[in-house]
Structure 1
Amino acid sequence: MVNRWIYVFAGLGANLILGTIYSWSVFRKPLEILLGWGSFESGIPFSIFLLFFAICMPLGGRILKTYGTRRAVFLGALLVGGGWILSALTLETQSPLLYVILFYGVMAGSGVALIYNSTITVSSYWVPERRGLAVGLTVLGFGISPLITAPLANYLIAYHGVKNSFIILGGIYGLILLALSYLMVLPRLEARGGQMGGSLQQSMGIREFTPGMMVRTKSFAGLWLAYVLGTLGGFIAISQAAKFGQEVVRLSPGLAAVATGVFAIFNGLGRPLFGYLADRVKINVVSSISFLLAIAAALLATQASSLTIYIISYSILWLVFGGWLALAPKATSLFFGAQNLSVNYGIVFTAYGASALAGPTLSASLWELLGHYSPVFMTVAALSALGLAVSNLMLKPPAMPERKIPVKAR
């Protein structure tokens, strides 16, 4: 029998490619030079990509539930590879920004949603008894991707230019993802409509919720809100890590880039770490730990005038951010069952999209309004304290309905 963890590591490999979005900063300056864009224009494709990544997750869940994970990943591979290549081919048109938004932001972003959702679903079904760790290892690839893809992109841009780099990466990524699609399958019983891991779910007292049932529960509201608050500090840290390092800690651009690489490692490690913890203790306990860490890191960051404090505070914020990418799917399956996980988690994942839009915007607005970073991190600490309250008051499984035992007439 094939080792079940092969499917987990296949998902990890796919996510290494998908996480190239975290290396977008490598492409921004070359695109600005080539096309005369400003900082605002070069940031739009990144934001649109994350937006469609988030909003297409529920749709992706329905597609893979209807057509299967292999076909969903196959389609996603075509969208991702095609999005990169078509973006390159339209860079010399009269409206390159519009086409990059369309092909990279919308097309590739939608493809990433399809594949990302599929890899989580596949890992969840193959290793149901250690679902948190399996999902954490799968999405580890997304977190550590910049350690590989950023140097690769830098090398390609230096020797081949940004346009050809898009084409090369699109071709390589598309082919690898197409190959990995053949490993993106569910266990045989599930493929036939059975309930893989059903006995495990039942033994744990987990009820299966449809998406409509899920969104009407207080548990969904608690999980969605906790997910937003849990990733908000991370998005703020990601959006200005290098800028903060250069302006406040007085690092050179090279050292700031090295520091960002260190943070990416913690972003990746948070995923299997928090997934592992979620397999062993209650979700609200793990969530509370994450918010306590975020509060401590945010308060520490207000004093981050030295390299040591900067590294420690930002590493913790990135660790917590990565942890929620494993904690949220684990909580979704634990609260609402595994049968509709792909669609249910797609809906829960919209919290990530809300945080992706709110985090950088909040950070930039506070900086422009007040002129320094302390209020930014005090806000992160306050929101994390709110998350701590949500964890203890709302982050609980839905109440199981009481069974009425009929009384036999005598």
Structure 2
Amino acid sequence: MKSRWIYVVFGIVIFICLGTVYSWSIFRKPLENMMGLSSVESSLPFMFFLTFYSLLMPVGGKLVAKHSPRNVLIFGGILVGLGWILASFSEGLWQLVLTYGVVAGSGVGIAYRIPISVVSKWFNEKKGLALGVLIAGFGLSPFVTAPLAKKLITSYGVFPAFRILGMAFLLLITLLSIPFKFPKDSGFESDSNDGSTSPRQMLKNKKFYALWFCFMASTFIGLMIIGITAPFGEEVIGIDEKTMPILTAIFSAFNGIGRPLFGLLSDIILPQVTISVSYVLVILSSLLLAYTHSPISFVVSFSLFWLTFGGWLAMAPYLTSKFFGNKYQSQNYGIVFTAYGFGAIFGNLSAGIIKDLFGSYKYVVYPIALLAIIAVVVANVYLRVNENVR
């Protein structure tokens, strides 16, 4: 059973490649300058990437039910690499949206679910912690890729940076996908008849809609924040653009830490408590930025924003299994994950609209705080679990 940890280790590296989307703010300003894009326009490739990422997640779940995890993961990795490479030849905004947003985003959507499904079935005990450690790779990606992307952009230009990263992703994901398989391939029983809820039954359950809303709120907030981290720091706080890749790397470390941290919390405390903790931190961070725009308040608040968003990407698959069982986990989580796409679209559009209407990103903290308060109420009303059935 020790060999099961290879899926966690290889999965972390794969997720670092897939999670480079979280370094989008490093590409944003160079693209705005080179292509003459507005704040809303420069958010479109990022928004389309995240939308197709979430829309193709159920497709990945269906493919892995018919094909081996290895083959589905390789297929997704090829799309990711090609999307980044083709993006390097873009001559206009919509070419960038099609290649980076649609092709690469679809590849991430297909590939993302596979390491999670494999690890979920290899780890029946301490599942929350194992998933948190695995998914930390996605959150930690900017810790590696933001400084690397900044260096490549400075040395070669923004579009050659797309090409170099795309070739690296194509190679790494393909090679690291080869060992992935489910336990049943090695003689382990992966699923049991545990009273699991089918996707159709889940859609009739109030807990699904409450979980979907809470996950959507976290992605609305988290992806809005991730997309504007660099411009918020530079334009609102006045931080030097050379410092922002370093701060982005620090924030990504908090994003990565949030995944095993909230995964562990999910194992030991009640769901409504874990959810409330995450959103209380968001509310406090919003209030801090509403009253002061110092570099310290920026670093503290954005660290907590990134931390809690990372936590939700461990909590969401865990809570899907907890509320609806393991048997249909791949399909059920694919449906729950559509909340990610909804949050990606409206979070990024809202940030761009606020900037274009009011001239500054500093006003985003008010809708963030309001949404977090609503999520706390929803979780404590509809996702409450009694102590004796934890």
Give the TM-score, by structure 2 length.
0.91
> Is it true that 1:254 corresponds to 2:231 in the alignment?
no
Report the Cα offset of residue 208 of structure 1: 1.0
Question: Aligned partner of 2:338: which letter?
Answer: T
1:175/1:242 CA distance change after superposition, 3 Å: closer
Question: Aligned partner of 2:199: which letter?
Answer: P
Alpha carbon RMSD of aligned pairs, Å?
Answer: 2.4
What are the superposed Cα offsets for residues 226-279 of structure 1, whole Å, 9 maximum, x if unpaired?
Answer: 111233332332233333333333322233443332222111111110001101
Q: Is the 8 A contact 2:25 2:227 kept in 1?
A: no
* Structure 1 residues 83-94: aligned runs within 5 Å: 83-88=83-88, 90-91=89-90
Counterpart position of 1:77: 77
Distance 1:375 1:40 in 2: 16
Counterpart position of 2:328: 340
Distance 1:300 1:371 in 2: 20
> Is it true that 1:64 corresponds to 2:64 in the alignment?
yes
Counterpart position of 2:55: 55
* Structure 1 residues 137-156: aligned runs within 5 Å: 137-156=133-152
3-state SS of paired residue (1:305): coil
1:112/1:393 CA distance change after superposition, 3 Å: same
Report the Cα offset of residue 280 of structure 1: 1.2
- Paired-residue identity, %: 41
359-368 vs 376-385, which moves further:
359-368
Distance 2:288 2:31 in 1: 36
Distance 2:341 2:355 in 1: 22
Distance 2:30 2:219 in 1: 29
3-state SS of paired residue (1:121): helix
Question: Aligned partner of 2:372: which letter?
Answer: S
Distance 1:391 1:40 in 2: 32
Give the TM-score, by structure 1 length.
0.86
* Structure 1 residues 264-303: aligned runs within 5 Å: 264-303=252-291
30-39 vs 54-63, which moves further:
30-39
Structure 2 segments unaligned to the other structure (5+ residues): none
1:286/1:6 CA distance change after superposition, 3 Å: same
What are the superposed Cα offsets for residues 86-107 of structure 1, whole Å, 9 maximum, x if unpaired?
Answer: 333x435xxx433332222111
Higher Cα Rg: structure 1 or 2?
1
1:397/1:183 CA distance change after superposition, 3 Å: farther
Report the Cα offset of residue 34 of structure 1: 5.3
Question: Aligned partner of 1:22: which letter?
Answer: Y
* Structure 1 residues 4-403: aligned runs within 5 Å: 4-32=4-32, 39-88=39-88, 90-91=89-90, 96-188=92-184, 195-196=189-190, 198=192, 202=194, 207-370=195-358, 375-396=363-384
What are the superposed Cα offsets for residues 309-337 of structure 1, whole Å, 9 maximum, x if unpaired?
Answer: 22212211211111101000000011111
3-state SS of paired residue (1:253): coil
Distance 1:359 1:223 in 2: 18
1:7/1:375 CA distance change after superposition, 3 Å: same
Question: Aligned partner of 1:135: which letter?
Answer: L
147-156 vs 264-273, which moves further:
147-156
Question: Aligned partner of 1:293: which letter?
Answer: L
3-state SS of paired residue (2:292): coil
Question: Aligned partner of 2:90: which letter?
Answer: L
Report the Cα offset of residue 52 of structure 1: 0.2
1:350/1:310 CA distance change after superposition, 3 Å: same
Q: Is the 8 A contact 1:367 1:373 kept in 2?
A: yes
3-state SS of paired residue (1:354): helix
Distance 2:90 2:47 in 1: 19
Distance 1:366 1:78 in 2: 36
Q: Is the 8 A contact 2:72 2:111 kept in 1?
A: yes
Distance 1:101 1:165 in 2: 16
